[in-house]
């Protein structure tokens, strides 16, 4: 009996200690886990590069390998994506350490030095570093043997060469190591210029050499045919994203998703779209590749002129026009709306335009309509908030927005705040119990489409502000 009792006590102790080990708390930051912070905020804040593969605007639409991957991640986490751009590596590290962002989303090579200040996700891609050099001016007339004689093919031949690389990059670290390995000096010049710009400088003859990841080099080779990218300078490397040191819960959530996502056809499509697509050159050379041209649409000059009439940032107006018509002045909807601003015939007639009116007149009529709405919502003092109401009214009609404001007042919400207040009542106007309320004058409304309309315009506007000058 005593032995049995002793056994039970020992068993209880073992189980108790087992439970303690299994239920170790997830590492916390300020007593709140990183993942919970993201979830409670409803926003995943990231910093990435702006270049021709990571993140850019093309014909008014945000695009890029990092951008599309991040959007998939944010959708998986059930939060919104907030993108910042910064091509300075040191400043990215500071943004992560200070808590300004949750994630650095670029092609970061995993190194021991970097592991001391940040934690890495599982790799999203693998690549190796290559030397970017320029072919001789008459390279097309040369035989393969003659061409090869003009190019560096052995890493030993990098001795005494001057190579420009981004400051504090893995390329700089690799070249310093390579200099030791070949037992000779490589003149390594570290600059605050991104990898793609340095590649362009090689192609333009401004510098002779730089180093880049092979996948990025392959993209740039498609539109600079005088580049050679065949000489490797490193072994294969894992490229990953970075989270704050100790953010184990957020890192685990990203790792779990990324491991599964990389097995999907969707990941393959995204990767090939940006790293294997021969149309990359067409995008870069387009007038509407905003990272180089600074343009969003063919109508930028007019949008800049007219936006002043309503006190809007022209990029917000551009985002609205994109939402309405994708910048197509001949667009027609099933309901009869037409043109760049998708005005309904009755509204268009009031402001003096028709389907055959030139683009500038279409835009001017849309501006006049926005001004008309602005006057009728002028009691909303906050200009940014009023803009959201104007967008909603432009889409669904002023009457439905006024109904939603009246419902907000009746239910103790703020009628001058869109998100979480008036928007909630517009969303509920498809419910008979709501649209039959005595304060409702305009009846049924499917508010979900309008809610998305406002959100998408504002989200795209943030991308335009990131990448296009005011």
Same domain (yes/no): 87, 180: no
Instruction: Clarify whether residues 140 and 222 are in a common domain.
Output: yes
Residue spans of the chain under pLDDT 70: 1-32, 278-292
Could you read off the pLDDT of 248-285 as tens digits, one per residue? 999 999 999 999 999 999 999 999 888 877 665 566 56
Whether the Cβ atoms of residue 165 and residue 186 lie closer than 8 Å to each other: no
Q: What is the pLDDT of residue 184?
A: 87
Asked if 121 and 98 sit in the same domain, the reply is yes
In a domain, 25, yes or no: no
Strands (E) located in 199-333: 209-213, 227-232, 237-244
Using DSSP's 3-state secondary structure scheme, residue 427 falls into helix
Residues 271 and 364 in one domain: no
Of 126, 235, 127, give the one whose Cα is nearest residue 181: 235
Q: What is the domain range of residue 88?
A: 34-126+239-284
Q: Is residue 161 part of a domain?
A: yes
**Token pair 């959530």: residue:** 253
Please give the tally of structural domains in the chain. Answer: 3
- What residues contact residue 425 under an 8 Å CB cut-off, 6+ apart? 403, 404, 405, 407, 408, 411, 413, 434
Tell me the pTM: 0.75
Q: Which of 258, 284, 310 is the C-terminal boundary of a domain?
A: 284
Look at residue 19 in the predicted model and tell me its pLDDT: 41
The pairing of strands 61-63 and 56-58 is: antiparallel
**Does residue 398 share a domain with residue 333?**
yes
Q: Are 238 and 182 in contact (CB under 8 A)?
A: no
Q: How far is CA 79 from CA 36, 72, 75, in A?
A: 11, 10, 6
Q: How many residues does the chain have?
A: 470
Q: Both 105 and 164 in a single domain?
A: no
Residues 6+ apart with CB under 8 A from 372: none
**With contact defined as beta carbons under 8 Å apart, do 222 and 278 qualify?**
yes
Is the same domain home to 137 and 265? no
Sign, CA dihedral 104-295-65-321, equals: positive
Do 154 and 244 lie in one domain? The reply is no
Whether 24 is covered by a domain: the verdict is: no
Instruction: For residues 172 and 57, state if they share a domain.
Output: no
Beta pairing class for 162-166 and 187-191: parallel
Tokens 């104007």, residue located: 390
Confidence at residue 294, expressed as pLDDT on a 0 to 100 scale: 80
Give the CATH number for residue 67: 3.40.190.10
Crossing angle between the packed helical segments 65-77 and 248-261, to the nearest 10 degrees: 110
Q: How far is CA 16 from CA 12, 58, 62, 142, in A?
A: 6, 59, 53, 77
User: In terms of domains, do 92 and 70 share one?
Assistant: yes
What distance in Å separates the CA atoms of residue 215 and residue 203, rounded to the nearest whole number? 17
CB 454 within 8 A of CB 391: yes
Residue with tokens 């007042």: 409
Per DSSP, the residues of 270-308 read HHHHHHS-TTHHHHHHSTTBHHHH--SSTTHHHHHHHHT
Q: Which of 461, 470, 466, 469 is nearest to 55 (CA)?
A: 466
Task: Kindly state the tokens that stand for 315.
Answer: 């990029």
Across the strands, what pairs with 127? 237
Residue 324 annotated as catalytic: yes
DSSP alpha helices (H): ranges in 78-210?
89-98, 112-115, 144-149, 170-182, 195-203
Q: Is residue 1 part of a domain?
A: no
Q: Indicate which CATH number applies to the domain containing 338.
A: 1.10.530.10
Assess if residue 293 is contained within a domain. Answer: no
**pLDDT (0 to 100) of residue 2:** 47
Whether residues 349 and 401 share a domain: the answer is yes
In a domain, 168, yes or no: yes
Among 284, 319, 343, give the residue marking a domain's end: 284
Tell me the pairing of strands 129-134 and 227-232.
Answer: antiparallel
Instruction: Name residue, tokens 């509920």.
Output: 428
CB-based contacts of 20, cutoff 8 Å, min separation 6: none
Residue 202 lies in a domain: yes
Residue 75 CB neighbours (<10 A): 12
445 and 340 share one domain: yes
68, 200, 324, 385: which one is catalytic?
324
Note whether residue 203 is domain-resident.
yes
């Amino acid at each position: 009996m005593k032995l049995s009792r002793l056994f039970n006590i020992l068993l209880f102790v073992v189980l108790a200690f087992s439970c303690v080990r299994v239920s170790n708390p997830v590492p916390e930051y300020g007593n709140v886990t990183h993942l919970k912070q993201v979830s409670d905020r409803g926003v995943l804040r990231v910093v990435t590069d702006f270049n021709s593969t990571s993140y850019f605007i093309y014909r008014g639409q945000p695009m890029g390998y990092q951008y599309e991957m991040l959007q998939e991640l944010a959708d998986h986490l059930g939060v919104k994506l907030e993108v910042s751009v910064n091509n300075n590596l040191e400043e990215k590290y500071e943004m992560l350490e200070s808590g300004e962002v949750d994630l650095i989303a670029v092609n970061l090579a995993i190194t021991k030095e970097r592991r001391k200040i940040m934690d890495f996700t599982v790799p999203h891609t693998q690549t190796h570093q290559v030397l970017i050099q320029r072919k001789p001016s008459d390279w097309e007339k040369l035989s393969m043997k003659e061409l090869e004689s003009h190019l560096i093919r052995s890493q030993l031949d990098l001795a005494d060469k001057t190579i420009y690389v981004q400051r504090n990059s893995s390329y700089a670290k690799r070249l310093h190591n390579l200099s030791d390995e070949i037992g000779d000096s490589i003149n390594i010049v570290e600059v605050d210029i991104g990898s793609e710009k340095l590649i362009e400088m090689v192609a333009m003859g401004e510098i002779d050499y730089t180093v880049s990841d092979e996948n990025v080099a392959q993209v740039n080779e498609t539109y600079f045919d005088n580049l050679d990218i065949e000489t490797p300078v490193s072994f294969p490397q894992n490229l990953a994203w970075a989270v704050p040191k100790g953010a184990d819960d957020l890192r685990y959530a990203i790792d779990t998703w990324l491991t599964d996502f990389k097995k999907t056809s969707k990941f393959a499509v995204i990767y090939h779209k940006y790293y294997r697509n021969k149309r990359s050159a067409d995008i870069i050379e387009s007038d509407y590749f905003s990272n180089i041209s600074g343009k969003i649409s063919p109508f930028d000059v007019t949008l800049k002129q007219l936006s002043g009439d309503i006190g809007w940032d022209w990029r917000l107006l551009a985002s609205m026009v994109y939402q309405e018509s994708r910048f197509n002045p001949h667009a027609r909807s099933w309901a009869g709306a037409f043109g760049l601003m998708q005005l309904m015939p009755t509204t268009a007639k009031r402001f003096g335009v028709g389907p055959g009116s030139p683009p500038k007149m279409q835009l001017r009529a849309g501006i006049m309509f926005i001004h008309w709405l602005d006057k009728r919502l002028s009691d909303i003092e906050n200009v940014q908030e009023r803009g959201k109401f104007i967008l909603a009214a432009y889409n669904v009609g002023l009457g439905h927005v006024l109904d939603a404001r009246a419902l907000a007042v009746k239910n103790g919400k703020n009628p001058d705040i869109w998100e979480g207040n008036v928007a909630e009542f517009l969303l509920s106007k498809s419910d008979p119990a709501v649209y039959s309320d005595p304060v409702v004058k305009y009846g049924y409304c499917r508010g979900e489409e309008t809610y998305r309309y406002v959100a998408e315009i504002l989200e795209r506007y943030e991308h335009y502000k990131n990448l296009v000058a005011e």
